[in-house]
Amino acid sequence: MASLVSPNNVRARWAYSELLSLSHGDRYEGPGIPELKEKASQSVPFDDLTPFERKLLVEQLALVRTDHLLQALEGINWFQLETWTKQQLAEVYVAPYFVCDICTTFSWVTFKRWIEADPIKPLHQWHARFATYAVAPSEQGEPLTVGRYPDHPQFILLDGYHRAVRFWSMNEPTAKLAVYVPV
């Protein structure tokens, strides 16, 4: 069995992966954050961060991300690192925030439906759907994070939309993607 990963470890990795993000990076601020952003810009591995830095990242994620998004992590005691195929990614649901890209009324939407549908509104140039234009598809970075809402027991993609889009665009049938999955 693969080793288990704590929810705070997953939260800290999520925050670390966003520090340099064009859409979210500026929201991370306060003592210790400039140093962490510098480490991220120098590609310092997450595993090299101190326990204090990881705790700071967990605290910052709670300030930067909406309560609704983080609710999908509530009640999860452990994650397991898995490798997913495109078919597994296709079946995961997208977070409610992204549903409005393709639907005028809310419904649960799979990643496959979301990525293959035409947007119903103009999207910002930094939107995850345009991720293949900015970075080479083979650059995967940190694992994706999935969670669950109490009223929706299926997996929801929470973090890693840009990485997921780049993975989806790869023309490699046997490609695998690292994902933190609730146990």
pLDDT at 180 (0 to 100):
97
pLDDT at 10 (0 to 100):
96
Q: What is the pLDDT of residues 40-69, one digit of tens each?
A: 999 999 999 999 999 999 999 999 987 788
Sheet harboring 177-182: ordered strands across?
4-5, 79-84, 177-182, 144-149, 152-159, 93-94
Q: What is the pLDDT of residues 86-105, one digit of tens each?
A: 999 999 999 888 787 778 88
Report residue 110: phi and psi, to 5°.
Answer: -75, 160
pLDDT at 139 (0 to 100):
44
Residue 178 scores a pLDDT above 60: yes
Q: What is the pLDDT of residues 117-165, one digit of tens each?
A: 877 677 666 666 666 655 544 344 789 999 999 888 899 999 988 889 8
Cα separation of 146 and 171, whole Å? 24
> pLDDT tier at 1 (50, 70, 90 boundaries)?
very low
Amino acid letter, residue 30: G
Cα separation of 136 and 104, whole Å? 32
pLDDT at 101 (0 to 100):
75
pLDDT at 125 (0 to 100):
64
- The rounded mean pLDDT for the chain is 87
Helices (H), the chain: 7-18, 33-41, 51-64, 67-70, 86-91, 96-99, 111-116, 161-169
pLDDT at 4 (0 to 100):
94
The pTM of this model reads 0.85
Q: What is the pLDDT of residues 18-38, one digit of tens each?
A: 899 877 899 999 999 999 999
Question: Residue 60 CB: number of other CB atoms within 10 A?
Answer: 23
pLDDT at 12 (0 to 100):
96
Amino acid letter, residue 109: V
